[in-house]
Amino acid sequence: MSPRPLLRSPCACKRLRRLPNHGRFLGTHASSVAVNGQILTLAYKIKKLVSQVLPPTGSGTQFTESAEFWEDILTNAHNDYASTPERPARVVVCGTDQWSPSEDLVTALLSDPLASDDPVNDVLSNRHRAIGTPLTISYATNPTNNGNSIQIPSNYLRQFPTAIQLTEVKSGDNLKTLSEDDLLLLFKADFPIVVVNPITTSLVDLLRIRLPSNTVLVQAAHPIKPSDRPHPLLASESARVQEIIFMDPSRAVQALKTLHGDPISSSVIQRYQDDFLGSGVSSITHALHRALGVPSEPPLATFRATVLLAHLRGALNASQDMINSATANVASISTNVDSLSRQVEEARRHATAEILGLGQAKAAKWGRVWPPIIRFGQDDLPRVIEAPVQETEGIAEAMMQSNRQMRGIMDNLTWWRVLWRVDEVSGLVHAAVERTWCPELEKKLVMHAGSLTSLQQDFNVQTFSMLDKTKAKLPYDYALLRNSMQQMSTSPSFALTPSTLVEPLHKRKSQLYKYPTTHLHLGAQRTFVGMSAGITSSAAFSWVGWAGWLSGAGLNVGTDNALLQALSSTMNFGIEPTTAVGLGAFGALASLRWAIGKWERAKKRWWEDWIRIGHGLERDLKATLEDVMREKVTVVAENGCVALRETTDKRKDEIAQFATELYALQAEQEIIEKQIRFKS
C-alpha cells in the first residue's frame, strides 16, 4: 500500500488561501506546507506500524488495543486534517460510572444563569427524558430537541475561536462497559472529558485503562489551588492524559438552581457567585481556550494539527504498550522454557545417579532428589516438589553380588562332577546364570520404569500447560505445534513398559548364553573326550607291557597261544615290562591332569567373558537410560522447549525491529511538535 500524497496539491494551497489568517500559521506558506506534509507522512508511518504491532480485533484483546480500532481513529483524523470544510470542535463528555456527575458538568457549562424560564434551560433540564445515548448538543438560534441531538442558542458553544459541538455519553457501570461506538466517539473527539467520582473510581485504576492522549480528567472534588508542579500521576510515563482538573459540578448546578429561585436577591446572587466560582467549573473553559487557541491565532488549522498529533501520540502509546507487553510475555515464556529445560537436565542427572548406582550420599549432592515432581505455580513459574530418596544398589554392587553367587556355583562344578554330567554343563550354567544375573537390579529397574512413566506424564502435562499459556502471548501456529506434540506423545515408541530398562540385562544374558556358555559346554566335552582317549591309550600301553612281562618271565605259554606270542614279539620295544606299566600309569595321570587344566582354562575363559559382559552391561544400561530419557521421558518437553525457544527468539527480533521504528517515529513527532510550538 503506497502512502497518501503529501499536501502539496493545489487544493491544499487553495484551502490555505481561503483561510484569512493562514499567512501567520506556521510562519511562511512554504514552511506550513512542509510541516503539513511531514504530519501526513508521519500519520501514514504510524498507521503502518500500528497494523503490524497491534493484534486484530478477534484475538482476545480489548477493542481499544486492536489494530482495527486505531486504524479507524487514524484514518478519521488523517481525513479530517486533510479536509477543507470548517467544522465545530468535537467535545465529548463521559462519566466513568453512573455516580459520576457528568450530567451536572454539562448542565453547569451550558445553562444560562440570567434567565430562569429560558428555553435553553428547559431543554437542558429535560434532555435525558426518553433519550438514549449519546446525546449531541450543538448551537442553533431556536432550541429544538430531535431525540439523540438537541440544538440550543447557548452562548457557551460560541465563545471560543472555533465553535464547539458537545456530545454527552451516558455513563454506565464503568468505562469498560462502553460500547464500541461510544469508545470510537470518545477517542475521535477533539477534546475528550472524562468525569470521575473519586469515591467509586480510583484515579490510579482509571489510568490503567486506555484513554485518549488528550483526555482531560475531571475529579469531582473540591477544587484545589493550581500548582506549578505537575500531578505525580501526570508526571509518570504511565499517565497518558493531558490534564487533571479538580472541580465540583454538583455545586455549580446547585448554585444555578439557587439563582433561578430568586434572581433579584443580592444575597442569592452573592451565594451564586461564591458557589459557582468555588466549584471550579471555569477550569474546563480555560482548558478549552488553551486547546482551541485565542482569536489572534489561526484556530482551525492549529487545532486540527494538534488533534491529529494527539491521535498519533495515542497510537504510538498503544503500540509502545503492546511492545512492552510483548517483551514481558517473551521474557516470561523464556523464563518458563529455561526452567523446564533445567528441570529436564536435572531429571537426567538424578536418573543417572539414582538408577545407575550413585546412591543416596552422592545423589544428595545435587541438592534435589529424584524423581522430581514438577508443577507450575500461580506465577507461571515451575516448582519442584521433592520426594524422599530410597537407597538403591548400583550396577557394580549388583555385579559383585552376582559374581559371589556365580563363583560358588562354578567352584562346585569341578572336573569330576563334569565327567558324569558332561552333556548337562550348558543347562547347569544356564540355570545358574538365570538365578544369579542381577535379579535385584532387574526388579529395581522395573520399579524405576514405573517412576519414569510418572515423570514422563508430569513433563507432558507441564509442556501442554505451557503451550496453552503461551497461546495468547505469542503469535505462532499453536494448533500445529500442539498437534505435533500430541502425535509424539501418542506414538507407539513413546510408551514406557516394565521391560524398557531391563532390555540390556536380557541382551547381555542372552549373549552370555550364546557364546561363553556354549564354548564352556564344548570345552567340557573336549576335555572328557581327550581325557578318556589318553587314559584308554595309557591303559592299553600298560596292559601290553604287563603282557610282555608275563611272557618274558617264562610263564607256561604254549605254542598253542599264538596271540600272546605275537604280542610279545611285536610290542617288545626294548622297554622293561615294569617300565611300560609305569609309563602307562603316568600317561593316565598326565591325561587326567591335562583334563583338569583344560577344564579350568575353559572356566577361566568363561569368567573373563562374564566380566567383559558385566562391564558392557554398565555401558549398555547407561546408554539405554540416556536414550529412554531423551527419546521417551523428556522428548515432548525438549521438543516443546526447542520450538518455543525458536519462536521467542524470532519474536524478540520482531520486537526489537518494531521498537526501533517506534522510537524513530516518537522522535520525529517530537520534532514536528516543537516546530508547531515555535512557529505558532
Closest CA to 382 of 342, 355, 330, 411: 342
The answer on pLDDT for 361 being more than 60 is no
pLDDT tens-digit readout, 282-331: 899 998 888 876 544 444 557 788 889 999 999 999 999 999 999 999 99
**222 vs 189, which has greater pLDDT?**
189
The answer on pLDDT for 276 being more than 60 is yes
Closest CA to 366 of 332, 339, 343: 343
Average pLDDT (333-362) is 80
The answer on pLDDT for 373 being more than 90 is no
According to DSSP, the β-strands at 191-196 and 144-145 are: unpaired
Place of cell 478519521: 76
pLDDT at 9: 35
* pLDDT band at residue 188 under the 50/70/90 scheme: very high
**Integer Cα distance of 349 and 352 in angstroms:** 5
pLDDT at 243: 84
Place of cell 595321570: 589
**597 vs 393, which has greater pLDDT?**
597
Average pLDDT (13-26) is 37
**Integer Cα distance of 219 and 205 in angstroms:** 14
Select the highest-mean-pLDDT range: 22-36, 230-244, 436-450, 574-588: 436-450
What angle (nearest 5°) sits at the alpha carbon of residue 303, between those of residues 298 and 308? 140
pLDDT tens-digit readout, 629-645: 888 998 999 999 999 99
Closest CA to 245 of 270, 282, 213, 210: 282
pLDDT tens-digit readout, 111-131: 877 765 567 777 777 776 544
Who's near 511: CB < 8 A, 6+ residues apart? 613
Place of cell 484515579: 203
| pTM of the predicted structure, to 2 decimals | 0.71
Closest CA to 486 of 646, 636, 644, 647: 636
Domain ranges of the chain: 86-293, 332-360+391-552+575-640
CATH fold of the domain at 86-293: Rossmann fold (3.40.50)
pLDDT tens-digit readout, 480-535: 888 888 888 888 888 888 888 888 888 888 888 888 878 777 777 777 777 777 77
In contact, 425 and 418? CB cutoff 8 Å: yes
The grid cell for 625 is 537410560
Average pLDDT (29-38) is 70
